[in-house]
């Protein structure tokens, strides 16, 4: 299974297993921080983007320094070792550029298509914390119970109940993820399925205006025709339809969870105009964006 480190692919299944075993052997779930959805416009000086899925991180060593946006406020926050960070959908989190003591952190992103495991172990001397050092995606063995446990943790609100539940829930989540990881046989799918997973990850991270077949083909050194073949084979739809589907799903989530204006949501999700967005949204959900937001609330 391929992962990414400094732009290069690297096998790290055994490394991820080791990290999870280390976490379960130690006491890393001492405190909890919950970040809720950010509902205002992102200032241009921040390179932050919305992500419509649950995320959990554990600071293992050192101190994690993040730009965090929730509600209508963005601020730099420090998270000491043994902190569990729960980031709800559309909370904004961006690693800060900075130097200092070494840090290590483990993270789980609960995507629709897979679980994304992340590990960062940045060097201590003048090494900026920018992004996870490596990724590993579990496609084939994630059980409903794993996802449900993550959903429960990410549904908690600040308070004594959440503090009392974080350790048992995180222990259960890490145990199930470890078992899922050990049982994964993703390598049996071959190189095509592996590339498909990395294409999904790349499209999720790209700004909408740059998410093209040409960009994907150039990044992974394959042809645009092959990119189209992979999307048709594994998603069951052409590339353009898949990208539009994900854009509309993201827009629906933003309408439900934020107070962003329709025009801003259209821009954030890559639509050329608000009128085009409204037409596409209505064709998928049979509601206008405003009616959808009113209905869901």
Residue 217's domain comprises 190-236
Q: Which residues pair with 86 in a beta bridge?
A: 34, 56
- Going through the chain in order, the beta strands assigned E by DSSP cover 2-5, 8-11, 31-35, 54-61, 63-70, 73-80, 83-87, 92-95, 103-110, 115-122, 134-138
**Residues 194, 248: one domain?**
no
Work out the percent of the chain whose per-residue pLDDT is above 70.
81
- Cβ-based burial of 222 (10 A; exposed 0-12, middle 13-18, buried ≥19): middle
21-54 pLDDT, tens digit per residue, is 999 999 899 999 998 888 777 666 665 556 778 8
**Residues 122, 225: one domain?**
no
Q: Report helix, strand or coil for 207.
A: coil
Q: Which helix (H) or strand (E) holds 257?
A: helix 239-257
83-120 pLDDT, tens digit per residue, is 999 998 888 777 665 555 557 889 898 877 678 888 88
Range of weakest confidence among 31-45, 240-254, 270-284 = 31-45
**Residues 11, 93: one domain?**
yes
**Residues 182, 243: one domain?**
no
Q: Give the confidence band of 10 by pLDDT, cuts at 50, 70, 90.
A: very low
Q: Among residues 169, 186, 203, which one ends one of the domains?
A: 186
Render 63-120 in DSSP notation, one character per residue. EEEEEEEEBTEEEEEEEETTEEEEE-TT-EEEEPP---S-EEEEEEEE-SS-EEEEEE
* Two tokens, residue 173: 């989540």
Render 140-169 in DSSP notation, one character per residue. S---HHHHHHHHHHHT--SSHHHHHHHHHH
137 Cβ neighbours under 8 A, 6+ residues apart: 1, 114, 115, 116, 117, 186, 197, 201
pTM over 0.85: no
**Residues 174, 243: one domain?**
no
- Report the chain's mean pLDDT, rounded to a whole number: 81
Parallel/antiparallel/unpaired status of strands 92-95 and 31-35:
unpaired
**Residues 227, 277: one domain?**
no
284-297 pLDDT, tens digit per residue, is 999 999 999 988 87
Give the CATH number of the domain where residue 282 resides: 1.10.10.60
**Residues 103, 249: one domain?**
no
**Residues 35, 131: one domain?**
yes
**Residues 48, 174: one domain?**
yes
**Residues 139, 167: one domain?**
yes
Q: Which residue has the tokens 């609330």?
A: 297
């Amino acid at each position: 299974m391929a992962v990414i480190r400094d732009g290069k692919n690297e096998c790290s299944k055994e490394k991820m297993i080791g990290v999870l075993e280390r976490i379960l052997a130690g006491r890393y779930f001492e405190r909890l921080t919950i970040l809720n959805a950010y509902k205002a416009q992102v200032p241009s000086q921040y390179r932050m983007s919305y992500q419509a899925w649950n995320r959990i991180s554990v600071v293992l060593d050192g101190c994690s320094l993040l730009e965090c946006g929730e509600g209508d406020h963005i601020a730099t926050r420090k998270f000491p070792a043994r902190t569990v960070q729960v980031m709800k959908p559309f909370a904004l989190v961006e690693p800060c550029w900075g130097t200092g003591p070494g840090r290590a952190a483990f993270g789980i992103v609960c995507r629709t298509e897979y679980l994304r495991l992340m590990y960062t172990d940045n060097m201590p001397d003048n090494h900026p914390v920018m992004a996870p050092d490596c990724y590993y995606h579990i496609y084939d063995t994630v059980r409903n119970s794993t996802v449900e446990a993550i959903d429960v943790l990410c549904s908690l609100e600040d308070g004594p109940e959440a503090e009392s539940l974080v350790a048992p829930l995180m222990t259960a989540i890490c145990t199930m993820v470890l078992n899922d990881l050990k049982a994964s046989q993703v390598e049996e799918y071959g190189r095509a399925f592996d590339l498909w997973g990395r294409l999904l990850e790349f499209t999720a991270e790209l700004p909408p205006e740059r998410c093209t077949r040409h960009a994907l083909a150039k990044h992974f050194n394959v042809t645009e025709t092959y990119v189209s073949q992979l999307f048709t084979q594994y998603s069951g739809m052409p590339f353009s339809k898949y990208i539009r589907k994900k854009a509309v799903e993201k827009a629906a989530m933003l309408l439900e969870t934020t107070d962003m204006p329709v025009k801003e949501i259209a821009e954030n999700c890559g639509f050329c105009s608000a009128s085009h967005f409204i037409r596409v949204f209505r064709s998928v959900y049979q509601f206008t964006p405003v009616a959808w937001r009113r209905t869901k609330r």
